[in-house]
C-alpha cells in the first residue's frame, strides 16, 4: 500500500514541480486549463472508448420493437442517428432506470425500458429530453462554460 502510494505520488509531484517551472506565476491558471483539457478529453473519450469497455450496445429485444420504432421516429425527426442510441446493459439487481446523453451518444438503461415498457410515450418523452440536450449541444456548452469559469477563477486567484 505504501509502496503504491509512493509510486503514484512521486510522478505526480514531479509533474507538478515541472509544471511550476514551466509556468512560473501562472501555475494556478495552468492547472485550471489542464483540468479543463482533461475534462474535455474525458467527455469526448467516454462514449467512444471508456463506456464501451464497461458496457456493450444491446439490440432492442423483440418485445420492445414498438418502443424502438417510436424512438426511431423521434430520432429521425431531429436528425439523430439511431445507431448512437445505446440500450445499455445493466445488472439484474440494478433497479435504477436511467437515460443520459454522453457526448453524442444517448444511453438508455434496460431497467428504464422495463419500468416503462407499458407506456411507450414515457420512454419517448425521456429520450426526447435527452435529444433536446443533444440538439442544443448542452454537453459542449457545459464544457465551454466550465472552462471559462475555471480560467476566470484561475486569473482571479493569480491576483492574490
Ligand atoms: Zn436533462
The residue to which cell 493569480 is assigned: 158
pLDDT band at 112 (very low <50, low <70, confident <90, very high): confident
Q: Tell me: the pLDDT tens digits for 73-99? A: 999 999 999 988 888 766 555 666 788
- From first CA to last CA, the distance across the chain in angstroms is 38
Ligand 1: centre distance to CA 150 (Å): 23
Ligand 1: centre distance to CA 132 (Å): 8
Ligand 1: centre distance to CA 125 (Å): 11
Ligand 1: centre distance to CA 88 (Å): 18
What's the CA gap between 133 and 150, in Å, rounded?
23
Q: Each residue of 31-52: b (16+ CB within 10 Å) or e?
A: bbbeebeeeeeebeeebeeebe
Q: Tell me: the pLDDT tens digits for 8-66? A: 889 888 988 888 888 888 888 788 888 888 888 888 888 788 777 776 677 788 888 88
Ligand 1: centre distance to CA 128 (Å): 10
Ligand 1: centre distance to CA 152 (Å): 26
Amino acid at each position: 500500500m505504501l509502496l503504491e502510494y509512493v509510486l503514484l505520488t512521486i510522478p505526480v509531484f514531479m509533474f507538478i514541480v515541472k509544471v511550476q517551472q514551466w509556468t512560473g506565476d501562472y501555475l494556478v491558471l495552468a492547472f485550471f486549463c489542464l483540468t479543463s483539457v482533461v475534462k474535455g478529453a474525458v467527455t469526448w473519450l467516454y462514449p467512444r472508448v471508456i463506456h464501451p469497455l464497461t458496457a456493450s450496445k444491446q439490440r432492442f429485444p423483440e418485445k420492445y420493437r414498438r418502443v424502438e420504432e417510436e424512438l426511431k421516429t423521434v430520432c429521425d425527426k431531429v436528425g439523430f442517428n439511431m445507431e448512437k442510441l445505446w440500450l445499455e446493459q445493466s445488472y439484474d439487481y440494478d433497479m435504477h432506470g436511467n437515460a443520459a446523453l454522453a457526448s453524442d451518444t444517448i444511453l438508455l438503461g434496460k431497467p428504464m425500458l422495463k419500468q416503462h415498457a407499458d407506456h411507450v410515450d414515457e420512454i419517448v418523452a425521456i429520450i426526447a429530453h435527452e435529444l433536446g440536450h443533444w440538439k442544443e449541444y448542452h454537453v459542449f456548452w457545459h464544457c465551454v462554460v466550465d472552462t471559462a469559469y475555471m480560467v476566470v477563477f484561475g486569473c482571479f486567484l493569480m491576483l492574490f
